[in-house]
Amino acid sequence: MVVELFLDLLSQPCRALFIFAKKNNIPFEFKHVDLLKGHNHSEDFGKVNALKKIPAIKDGAFTLAESIAILLYLSRKFNTPDHWYPSDLQKRARVDEYLSWQHATIREKGCKIFITKVLVPLILGQPFSPETLEENVEELNSALKQFEEKFLQDKPFIVGNEISLADLMAVVELMQPVGSGCDIFENRPKLAEWRSRVEEAVGKELFQQAHELILNVKDLSIPQVPPELRDHMKQLLKT
């Protein structure tokens, strides 16, 4: 049975799911939920995910939200190669460790840069604050230092010699500030080499396909901003 994946490749976790499903030949139907048009707030999508967030999946009558839960579900359902989510207890724990850590660090800090430099001007029509951007970059730099020292160390990948779900989630998160014009890989040879290995492991063509939208984000436009999206953006700026 074909799984329905509800995605917008502007979103980091959606890109991780897209790459994972494509790389592992998981049969799926791409259901585009346009975040910038507020489609995630529609009544139809609410039937798939009452949280009104993407990604989400529908597998027959079964629906599931939250990217980590979906990645683990797909890896088990389709019996993907062991390196993605290792059966070895300690290696699996290392993957879990990163996936537990990344939400409020790498992902959050990268999102702040994207929101400040891209979404505020695009959605609210306001120029971004250079001071706020500088603060965001400093926060991300601190998280990147932790990432290199704690998780990557001197290994090819986070869990040794093969790519895992941890690497996949990390790389899509770090491409978000890159799409904003912040080259976080510059002057970080270890990080840049790791990114190249991840890109090679998933396939350069697939990697570029998944990131085409974010790398051309400057070309985005919204003819009419949905009120829900504008209100959500204002709320984000308060946090």
Residue 210 belongs to domain with CATH number: 1.20.1050.10
Q: Is residue 45 part of a domain?
A: yes
Q: Is residue 82 part of a domain?
A: no
Q: Is the pLDDT of residue 229 over 80?
A: no
pTM: 0.92
| Span 191-206, pLDDT tens digits | 999 999 999 999 999 9
**Same domain as 101, residue 34:** no
**Same domain as 145, residue 41:** no
**Same domain as 227, residue 147:** yes
Which residue did the predictor score with more confidence, 165 or 127?
A: 165
**Same domain as 184, residue 150:** yes
Q: Is residue 83 part of a domain?
A: no
| Span 67-82, pLDDT tens digits | 999 999 999 999 999 9
Q: Cα–Cα distance between 141 and 146 in angstroms, integer? A: 9
Q: What average pLDDT does this structure show over 83-110? A: 96
% of the chain beyond a pLDDT of 70? 92
| Span 17-28, pLDDT tens digits | 999 999 999 999
Other C-beta atoms closer than 10 Å to the C-beta of 200 total: 11
HSE-up (13 A, CA, CB side) for residue 188: 19
The order of strands in the sheet holding 28-32 is: 28-32, 3-7, 56-59, 62-65
**Same domain as 206, residue 124:** yes
Q: What are the beta bridge partners of residue 57?
A: 5, 64
Q: Is residue 167 part of a domain?
A: yes
Domains of the chain: total: 2
Q: Is residue 84 part of a domain?
A: no
Q: What average pLDDT does this structure show over 87-111? A: 96
**CATH at residue 25:** 3.40.30.10
Q: Give the structural domain span for 14.
A: 3-77
Q: Is residue 41 part of a domain?
A: yes
CA 192, 196, 202, 205 dihedral sign is: positive
**Same domain as 106, residue 73:** no
Q: Cα–Cα distance between 19 and 21 in angstroms, integer? A: 6
| Cα–Cα separations (whole angstroms), residue 117 to 111, 170, 179 | 10, 21, 10
**Domain boundary, last residue among 77, 112, 132:** 77
Q: Cα–Cα distance between 11 and 176 in angstroms, integer? A: 8
**Same domain as 219, residue 133:** yes
Q: Cα–Cα distance between 183 and 17 in angstroms, integer? A: 24
Are 81 and 29 contacting, i.e. CB atoms less than 8 angstroms apart? Answer: no
Tell how strand 28-32 and strand 3-7 pair up. Answer: parallel
Name the DSSP letter for residue 158: T
